[in-house]
């Protein structure tokens, strides 16, 4: 083992430790430094700082109310409708209220350039599920624009970067107070103790536990797993969003990569293998501009009914609506992405599939990103509540930057009041033994096959359409995988050891998968991204409450909490269901 005892650990002392360097993490840094320039801030990133993660992958844009004909209340209503009223309405209202301010901050302080309309105002395009065109963008490369500018600003501020470093565990002192975290330098294989007055968790979600998924490959549920092991309660863990249009690319790393929602907003049509524009069956009023949950489920049901393509997907076509030159002008990033795998979005239909994309569930926070542990903040996709049962396209990067900014304000405030603490050496020793165990275990199973099994299991039994039998299979399979993961062995050395990193990823993935499947089994209705074919209808009387999971003597405890309608009551049920038809009713056109 690289370190035999906690006394040999390399150490870093800092005021604020930020885990993650996407939109939430870097906005946290900018705001904290603006509030208190003297603060020592350390950014810990599993990949390249500011150049990995998911914010830079955002194609679509950022929802914000900028037009006098739009309103904050309309944006809030769209967000609550999309979330099927499972949202924490105060978090959702905070997102909506702060989004225009953050757009201005990104332009004036970070230097972002967003597309302009002919009159000089910021151009806003259509996104599904919204009653007003409010999505701010930079072509279809919005995330690259935001992250490039945020990283430029961070470099100017002289923040400490710990790159290619993974967070292992939140650590406490002997009195149980937050003391910082233990991290692992992937290149050297050595652990480092980071003592911090405040820790901000902003690592992103866990969608890569599915066979077809959209996020960056380093996004393996680390933040949620860290928070869970630290003792935080989790909400809405069953709510995993599947984006309707993930590129089908076989064994390519582009398999599952998103073709963004702006295509459907611009007039793209979806077809099954029989040439039918099948959304007529599921949402004849909104068609392809229905919300992500409905379009994803509709595509999945078409495929399962035998109307999918040979590759197991459906087809999206924007070329007929706009023509090749206009598609190339408006969506250059996606055109290039499809051409890399031998397809051509500008000139013909492209094969797509639902793809695991975004986790609406996560740690419970307040509007200032505080959690149940003093000094531990959570921002972005690691937190639950803002989006409820389904996230609107364009609300994701808005959430990351809005709550990243708020976490920076809160962190600066807390750093002025909390002292550095000495971690409990007993806890540190336990963490080190667990983390290095795979390297010391001879003859153990390698992790790569286990990762493939988990992805297949979650896709099949806890995916777009769920039922009790499948979820029970998923839970049994996860328990078996958990036992096998605990016996994984990898050859050394510790330096740049991808098998070892895969094993550490798996520990977090199976832990988060267990929470997702547990919550999915408990919610016996269909709502938003969670569709149960054995309970195909939404049940507001029984299930306008959220499932909270907590740790009780090492086991999963359950609490149900009613949604508080602090801003808007849900609309009365109408004759038209908001869910796609159950599988057994989709056999014929």
CA distances from 103 to 71, 100, 112, 317 (A): 16, 5, 9, 31
CB atoms within 10 A of CB 333: 16
Contact 22, 54 (CB under 8 A): yes
Helices (H), 331-391: 332-339
Which one from 195, 243, 337, 527 is the annotated catalytic residue? 243
Spatial separation of the C-alpha atoms in residues 408 and 61, rounded to whole Å: 22
Burial of 229 (0-12, 13-18, 19+ CB in 10 A): middle
Radius of gyration over every alpha carbon of the chain, rounded to an integer in angstroms: 23
Which one from 166, 264, 289, 357 is the annotated catalytic residue? 264
* Positive/negative CA dihedral, 512, 230, 392, 217: negative
Concerning whether 264 is annotated as a catalytic residue, the answer is yes
User: The tokens of 505 are what?
Assistant: 């990823």
| Phi (first) and psi of residue 227, to 5 degrees | -65, -40
User: Strands 555-562 and 545-552, how do they pair?
Assistant: antiparallel
Which position has the token pair 């995330």? 143
Spatial separation of the C-alpha atoms in residues 412 and 369, rounded to whole Å: 12
User: Strands 191-201 and 10-19, how do they pair?
Assistant: parallel
Spatial separation of the C-alpha atoms in residues 427 and 419, rounded to whole Å: 20
Which residues are catalytic, by number? 243, 264
């Amino acid at each position: 083992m690289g370190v035999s005892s906690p006394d040999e650990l390399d150490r870093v002392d800092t005021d604020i430790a930020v885990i993650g360097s996407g939109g939430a993490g870097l906005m946290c840094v900018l705001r904290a430094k603006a509030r208190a320039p003297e603060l020592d801030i350390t950014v810990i990133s599993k990949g390249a700082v500011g150049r990995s993660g998911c914010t830079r992958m955002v194609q679509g844009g950022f929802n914000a109310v900028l037009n006098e004909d739009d309103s904050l209340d309309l944006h809030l209503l769209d967000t609550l409708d999309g979330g099927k009223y499972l949202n924490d309405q105060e978090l959702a209202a905070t997102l909506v209220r702060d989004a225009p301010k953050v757009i201005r901050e990104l332009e004036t302080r970070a230097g972002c350039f967003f597309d302009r309309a002919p009159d000089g105002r910021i151009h806003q395009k259509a996104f599904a599920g919204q009653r007003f065109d409010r999505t701010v963008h930079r072509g279809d490369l919005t995330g690259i624009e935001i992250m490039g500018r945020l990283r430029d600003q961070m470099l100017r501020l002289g923040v400490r970067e710990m790159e290619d470093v993974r967070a292992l565990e939140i650590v406490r002192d002997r009195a149980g107070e937050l003391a910082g975290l233990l991290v692992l330098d992937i290149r050297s294989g050595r652990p480092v103790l980071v003592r911090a007055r405040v820790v901000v968790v902003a690592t992103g979600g866990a969608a890569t536990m599915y066979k077809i998924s959209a996020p960056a490959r380093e996004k393996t549920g680390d933040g949620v797993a860290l928070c869970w092991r630290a003792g935080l309660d989790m909400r809405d863990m069953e709510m995993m969003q599947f984006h309707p249009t993930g590129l089908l690319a076989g064994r390519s790393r582009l398999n599952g990569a998103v073709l963004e929602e702006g295509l459907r907003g611009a007039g793209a049509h979806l077809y099954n293998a029989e040439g039918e524009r099948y959304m007529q069956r599921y949402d004849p009023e909104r068609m392809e501009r229905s919300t992500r949950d409905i379009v994803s489920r509709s595509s999945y049901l078409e495929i399962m009914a035998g109307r999918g393509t040979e590759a197991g997907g459906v087809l999206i076509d924007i070329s007929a609506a706009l023509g090749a030159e206009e598609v190339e002008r408006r969506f250059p990033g996606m055109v290039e992405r499809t051409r890399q795998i031998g397809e051509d979005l500008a000139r013909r239909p492209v094969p797509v599939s639902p793809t695991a994309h975004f986790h609406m569930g996560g740690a419970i926070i307040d509007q200032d990103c505080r959690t149940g542990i003093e000094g531990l903040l959570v921002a972005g996709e690691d937190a639950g509540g803002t989006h409820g049962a389904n996230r609107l396209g364009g609300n994701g990067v808005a959430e990351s930057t809005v709550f990243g900014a708020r976490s920076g304000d809160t962190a600066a405030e807390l750093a002025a009041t909390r002292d550095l603490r000495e971690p409990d050496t007993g806890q540190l020793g336990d963490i080190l033994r667990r983390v290095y165990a795979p390297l010391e275990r001879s003859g153990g199973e390698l992790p790569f096959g286990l990762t493939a099994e988990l992805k297949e299991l979650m896709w099949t039994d806890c995916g777009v359409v769920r039922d009790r039998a499948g979820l029970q299979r998923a839970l049994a399979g996860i328990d078996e995988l958990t036992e096998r993961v605990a016996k994984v062995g990898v050859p050394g050395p510790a330096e740049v050891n991808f098998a070892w990193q895969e094993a550490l990823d798996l520990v977090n993935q199976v832990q988060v998968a267990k929470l997702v499947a547990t919550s999915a089994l408990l919610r016996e209705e269909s709502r938003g991204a969670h569709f149960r074919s054995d309970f195909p209808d939404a049940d507001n009387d029984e299930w306008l409450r959220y499932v909270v999971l907590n740790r009780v003597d090492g086991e999963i405890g359950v609490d149900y909490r009613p949604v508080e309608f602090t801003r808007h009551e849900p609309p009365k049920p109408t004759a038209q269901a908001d869910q796609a038809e159950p599988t057994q009713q989709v056999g014929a056109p």
